[in-house]
Structure 1
């Protein structure tokens, strides 16, 4: 139980997708001009992450990782299909996003029109893919923890876009210097909010760590940095392909 609670709060505040890893920034900046649209997109991101992370965990455990096919028989125990991770993860994400798009268009046409192209672009949102890849790199052991991580990561992204949308609505009536209006002041506020969220780290990490744990955390951080870089590169290529089409 303690593991679930710790993972939940760390994923929201310390490892926040926006403020800690800066994933999903395109939607975060473009759809945060109004609180109503930010709430709609944030809710969609929560749903997609909460569904795709556990689904991709099942794919990773029983299909992709080294030895995952042992349940089919001893002759399949040496198979390693991890090279298919990106393809299958993205296929799962695209399926869920298509479902969300159909539901939003059916029950809330106004929200569907206000979100525009950014609703289907959740499929190539690097925060969504990053959630599944972080789940894989952290070697989450149970389906419950995978669901917990997906849900809490989505809530963290939701809080980030909701907070910046509320602030941007207020600063419309503020005397912002002309060179900083628009994205300039938004990036400054995002940086300050990131500092605030990272300050929760001292309360949730539990104080001093053993040297072995420090080494493990360092190795995990290097692996996550590599995943972030690969995720952003793949997202840029996917976005360019969509734009060219």
Structure 2
């Protein structure tokens, strides 16, 4: 049952994007169309889960036993950057259209605070392998859910009558704030 609460909490209550506001660059940049947001969401899920496994393993079996915890940030950055390069190569070969649509935002996954944040939170919480996996999956799915919901709202906003002073980034930030408030409503669901 603890894994269930961890999953619900990571996906909704402590959403890595809306509650902790990590990874907002792709959130604002790629969310203009649902198709592009879907591709970015899939890439974020893939990179987050793989990087969590590799960073947890590296920290647990290499850094901690040898007293090299101070190399944690540098090591995690190298692992995440390598995985993003792998995703970029795969997308370039398998889906040229999605690769072009994601553009510079694909490279932003390398410096995405959400991916790094998940890796750091896992080590800070000292999670075991199963808990780490549940946390990584739930956090990345929560990020993807928020990104896709936001993209749906932004597509709808494009056909709505919005005052000129609120068009573009202004209404996007207001919408993101309202979504954050909506996700706060899940607080009573899980601690």
TM-score range, shorter chain: over 0.9
Matched, 1:139 2:139: no
C-alpha displacement of 1:3:
1.7
C-alpha displacement of 1:131:
0.6
CA deviation map 1:216-237 (0-9, x unaligned): xxxxxxxxxxxxxxxxxxxxxx
Matched, 1:38 2:37: yes
Partner residue in 2 for 1:229: none
Give TM-score scaled by structure 1 length. 0.76
- Structure 1: unaligned runs, 5 residues or longer: 70-79, 206-245
Q: Which structure has the greater CA radius of gyration? A: 1
Q: How many residues align?
A: 191
Matches within 5 A, 1:1-245: 2-65=1-64, 68-69=65-66, 80-140=67-127, 142-205=128-191
| Structure 1 contact 51–147 (Cα < 8 Å) conserved | no
CA deviation map 1:65-110 (0-9, x unaligned): 2xx24xxxxxxxxxx2111001111111111111111111111100
C-alpha displacement of 1:15:
1.0
CA deviation map 1:132-158 (0-9, x unaligned): 011111111x21111111111110110
If asked which structure has higher relative contact order (CA below 8 Å, sep 6+), I would say 2
RMSD: 0.9
